[in-house]
Structure 1
Amino acid sequence: MKLFLGTALVEEDDARVSPFDRGFTLGDGLFETLRVKGGDVLRREAHLARLAAGAEVLGLPLPALDLAAALAATATANALTEGVLRLTLTRGVGPRGVLPPAEPKPTLVITAAPLPPAPPPARLVVARCTRRNARSPLAQVKSLNYLDGILARQEAARRGADDALLLNTSDRVAETSIANVFAVIRGELVTPPLADGVLPGVMRAAVLAQGARERSLAPEDLDQADEIFLSSALGLRSVADLEGRTLPSAAVAARLRALIAGA
């Protein structure tokens, strides 16, 4: 596999990142996962806009190169027509301590992978081990520090589920460890608002454009849902059951898959 490192494509075996890179030592960085379909990088500009917004929150300078061209070059070098690109941006090498260097030199890595098989409908539980902090600016950032999600996903595995639904510190529904959440309640398609600690998902925006509405949801609201599905850059995934309750429908997710490219 060839990957993009810094300013050029390199062979995987030749790629090197410093052990003093702050992405490794402190999780100081951002990432984006992008779907490639028919050789095209789907929603590329939306992903790059979210990357830029996250970089502004972190005070992290973007590399002085054409990121769209770098993504395309990585896909082409790996003959990737159906698959996944991951763009990782760290603050680069820094001295010991938390305070970033005054003039950071960011590290950029873009990798390519085949498209994974479509997963079956998900089984969800509500995470008990952690919460989303809706007041943190990092709730809006796709950060390299994914430990809350990892803890929730580990809990889900222990409880025999595929993923965990995270609540925020006010007991409102936020998202799962890896995806945004949509529910059909009394015929209305709804999703939690960003203010409830929700990552501004790129596919989430595409579903909102099809008529979904934002509103805060308590866990008991989901008890009234006829359908729940998850959205991520790789598509829409229906939920088969939540905390052991079978969801009776997957019709809305199926309709949206037909309307939204890559869903």
Structure 2
Amino acid sequence: MSTLWLNGRLLDAARARIDPADRGFLLGDGLFETMRAQDGAVPLLARHLARLRAGADVMGIPFEATDAALPKACAALLAANDLVSGPAALRLTLTRGPGPRGLLPPADATPTLLLAAFPAPPPRPPATAAIVTIRRNEHSPTSRLKTLAYQDQILALKEARAAGAEEALMLNTAGRLACASTANLFVVTRDGRLLTPALDEGVLPGITRARVLEAAAKLGIAAEATRIEPAVLDEAEAVFVTSSLTGLRAVVRIEGRRAPLDADHAMVRRLAEAL
């Protein structure tokens, strides 16, 4: 990452500057999108920008960058970092910008918009997972926003790793399944249904989550966004998690639960191929 795009300009990363009074740095007052690029473009950019705008509306953060300008910015940044051939990754970060001390935001916010590009992560093998004690607060509006405040996810993943698992499965305050540390969760039942926690269970409206549900409808797979008790995992045929960068990642074992899960389930293969 030698070049960044910051507030409309390409800059050498060593020269880029974020104001020390930026509320994103001080208070986590901001949002971000992590996007997959292919051959110098971001195929799902419109979906990511729509989610970012929706989150900015909830938080009251001005977001004035246009949908016409940002594809050009992505393309220019990828080219500047020699990432125009094959897959790559981009992160778009929006903060409210600098402000005075205190929690209340300034009336005349000057947002910070930062775009960074990276090589795409390599394909990841099926994961082991553990249900952790860190809970998702489904009553908070931020549980459905991709905010900069990720401490719960960090603690959840650390707890899972301490238990010998690679991924954390988080419950909500009602004790039902919500999500993985940085991914949405899907369960394939013995009777051939595809289940995923509903958005009001404290779930981020994932871009890949939506695409999986769309693909399931086209393939005639019975899919439902619903409330899922942890006991459902004991009867599951397959479990997988989804994110924009990793796509569909199978879960092969859940600590303390029935094992093994089918890491090469036919339904999951069909969905992955459809994406």
User: 1:23·1:92 contact (CA, 8 Å) conserved in 2?
Assistant: yes
The answer as to 2:153 corresponding to 1:160 is no
- Quick one: distance in 1 between partners of 2:273 and 2:65? 38
The answer as to 2:81 corresponding to 1:72 is no
User: 2:41·2:74 contact (CA, 8 Å) conserved in 1?
Assistant: no
The answer as to 2:226 corresponding to 1:215 is yes
Partner of 2:220: none
Aligned counterpart for 1:237 among listed residues 249, 253, 257: 249
- Quick one: distance in 1 between partners of 2:262 and 2:8? 50
Alignment of 1:173-212 (within 5 A): 173-186=177-190, 187-211=192-216, 212=223
Letter in 2 for 1:258: E
User: 2:237·2:262 contact (CA, 8 Å) conserved in 1?
Assistant: yes
- Quick one: distance in 2 between partners of 1:246 and 1:54? 38
Alignment of 1:100-179 (within 5 A): 100-128=105-133, 130-179=134-183
- Quick one: distance in 2 between partners of 1:249 and 1:7? 44
The answer as to 2:104 corresponding to 1:99 is yes
What secondary structure does 1:229 align onto?
Answer: strand
- Quick one: distance in 2 between partners of 1:254 and 1:103? 50
Deviation per CA, 1:136-164: give whole Å up to 9, x if none: 11011000000110110110111111111
The answer as to 2:95 corresponding to 1:90 is yes
| Unpaired segments ≥5 residues, structure 1 | none
What secondary structure does 1:190 align onto?
Answer: strand
- Quick one: distance in 1 between partners of 2:72 and 2:229? 43
- Quick one: distance in 2 between partners of 1:64 and 1:254? 38
User: 1:32·1:51 contact (CA, 8 Å) conserved in 2?
Assistant: yes
- Quick one: distance in 2 between partners of 1:40 and 1:119? 23
Partner of 1:61: 62
- Quick one: distance in 1 between partners of 2:93 and 2:268? 30
- Quick one: distance in 2 between partners of 1:237 and 1:109? 28
| More divergent stretch after superposition (131-140 vs 65-74) | 65-74
User: 1:34·1:42 contact (CA, 8 Å) conserved in 2?
Assistant: no
The answer as to 2:267 corresponding to 1:255 is no
- State the 1:168 CA deviation: 0.4
- State the 1:67 CA deviation: 2.3
Q: TM-score, normalised by structure 1?
A: 0.95
- State the 1:44 CA deviation: 0.7
Give aligned-pair identity as a percent.
49
| Unpaired segments ≥5 residues, structure 2 | 217-222
Q: TM-score, normalised by structure 2?
A: 0.91
User: 1:182·1:228 contact (CA, 8 Å) conserved in 2?
Assistant: yes
Q: Which 4+ residue blocks in structure 1 deviate beyond 3 angstroms?
A: none
- Quick one: distance in 2 between partners of 1:79 and 1:256? 31
What secondary structure does 1:83 align onto?
Answer: strand
- State the 1:72 CA deviation: 2.2
Partner of 1:33: 34
Give the length in aligned residue pairs: 259
- Quick one: distance in 2 between partners of 1:103 and 1:75? 32
What secondary structure does 2:215 align onto?
Answer: coil
Aligned counterpart for 2:260 among listed residues 246, 251, 254: 246
- Quick one: distance in 1 between partners of 2:264 and 2:177? 20
- State the 1:38 CA deviation: 2.8
- Quick one: distance in 1 between partners of 2:80 and 2:61? 28
What secondary structure does 2:158 align onto?
Answer: helix
- State the 1:249 CA deviation: 4.1
Letter in 1 for 2:103: V
| More divergent stretch after superposition (7-16 vs 197-206) | 7-16
- Quick one: distance in 1 between partners of 2:130 and 2:103? 35
Q: Output the aligned Cα RMSD.
A: 1.2
